[in-house]
């Protein structure tokens, strides 16, 4: 009986060692998506998709809203702090290139969006797709902003014809430098369900914006794409959360001894 127990324990240990060896021999999952996994964790909410299928709650209010100190009509206007700073940089760059821009609309609460939607229904008797239903507007994220030139800022409404202006062309060509995308591109109306809105900028961060605009993606295409990349990585044995923790970890502290062996030890932060 004693020998049997000892043999069973030895066999179990052998199996565990064999399994560990097989795990070490197996190729580690590799992150191959063009964007860093750390950008796609979406802890800050910059990549949140908002539409009719993925609506925000009525009580959702973005954090870190700050007032915009930019040329505008109506108002007051607010955006999340990071988006507000980048929008100010975008306005400065536009001014240097000879373009005058104005904020038309920025953060809107669920309640404000509901009022706008109901007014549109009463005026036209139907949902014509021009005003988003409450909870489905990019503006509620605090990351969406409508930007126009002087001429169009004085008009009552906005139409895709704004896209023919020099200011709109400049914004489409340069918005990604400041972390913004054109949320509703002309060729994506069938995907987004929203008309072409050359005035509607959405903040996602510089790296993501460059990728989205370079590949002419809508958020409805980009978000499922990167979610599929995460799922594929984990299906291959990767741990996405651990990968992100590793990427976000501070660099190791390295102690550097004096060359002569005397004096205080120096500390260097590894790169």
Does 4 map to a domain?
no
CA 151 centroid distance within chain: 31
pLDDT band at residue 125 under the 50/70/90 scheme: confident
Does 45 map to a domain?
yes
Does 267 map to a domain?
no
State residue 260's pLDDT score: 59
Query: For residue 190, what is the domain's CATH number?
Result: 3.30.1380.10
Is it the case that residue 238 has pLDDT exceeding 70? yes
Q: Return the minimum-mean-pLDDT range out of 75-84, 153-162, 253-262.
A: 253-262
Residue 151 contacts by C-beta under 8 Å, 6 or more apart in sequence? 165
What is the tally of structural domains in the chain? 1
188/112 Cα distance (integer angstroms): 27
Does 237 map to a domain?
no
34/244 Cα distance (integer angstroms): 15
SS3 151: helix
Is it the case that residue 5 has pLDDT exceeding 80? no
State residue 157's pLDDT score: 87
Does 242 map to a domain?
no
Does 66 map to a domain?
yes
Q: Average the pLDDT over 237-249 and give the result.
A: 95
Q: Nearest to residue 184, comparing CAs of 120, 134, 138? A: 138
Q: Average the pLDDT over 212-217 and give the result.
A: 98
Tokens of 219: 């958020």
104/100 Cα distance (integer angstroms): 13
State residue 2's pLDDT score: 47
Does 268 map to a domain?
no
Is it the case that residue 15 has pLDDT exceeding 70? no
Q: What range defines the domain where residue 55 resides? A: 37-227
pLDDT band at residue 9 under the 50/70/90 scheme: very low
110/140 Cα distance (integer angstroms): 6
143/162 Cα distance (integer angstroms): 21
Q: Average the pLDDT over 4-21 and give the result.
A: 48
Q: Nearest to residue 197, comparing CAs of 209, 189, 206? A: 189
């Amino acid at each position: 009986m004693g020998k049997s127990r000892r043999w069973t324990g030895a066999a179990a240990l052998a199996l565990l060692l064999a399994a560990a060896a097989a795990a070490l021999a197996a190729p580690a999952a590799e992150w191959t998506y063009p964007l860093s996994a750390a950008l796609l964790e979406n802890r800050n909410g910059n990549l949140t998709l908002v539409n009719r299928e993925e609506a925000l709650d009525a009580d959702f209010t973005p954090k870190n809203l700050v007032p915009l100190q930019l040329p505008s009509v109506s108002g007051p206007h607010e955006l999340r702090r990071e988006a507000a700073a980048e929008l100010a940089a975008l306005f400065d760059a536009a001014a240097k290139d000879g373009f005058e821009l104005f904020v038309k609309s920025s953060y809107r609460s669920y309640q404000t969006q509901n009022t706008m939607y109901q007014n549109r229904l009463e005026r036209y008797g139907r949902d014509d797709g021009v005003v988003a239903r409450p909870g489905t507007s990019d503006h509620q994220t605090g990351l969406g902003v409508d930007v126009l030139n002087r001429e169009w800022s004085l008009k009552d409404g906005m139409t895709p014809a704004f896209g023919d202006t020099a200011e709109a062309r400049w914004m489409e060509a340069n918005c990604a430098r400041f972390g913004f995308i054109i949320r509703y591109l002309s060729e994506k109306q069938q995907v987004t369900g929203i008309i072409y809105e050359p005035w509607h900028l959405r903040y996602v961060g510089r790296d993501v914006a460059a990728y989205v605009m370079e590949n002419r993606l809508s958020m409805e295409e980009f978000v499922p794409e990167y979610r599929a990349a995460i799922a594929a990585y984990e299906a291959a044995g990767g741990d996405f959360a651990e990968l992100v923790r590793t990427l976000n970890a501070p660099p190791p502290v390295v102690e550097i001894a004096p060359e002569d062996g005397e004096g205080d030890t120096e500390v260097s932060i590894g790169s």
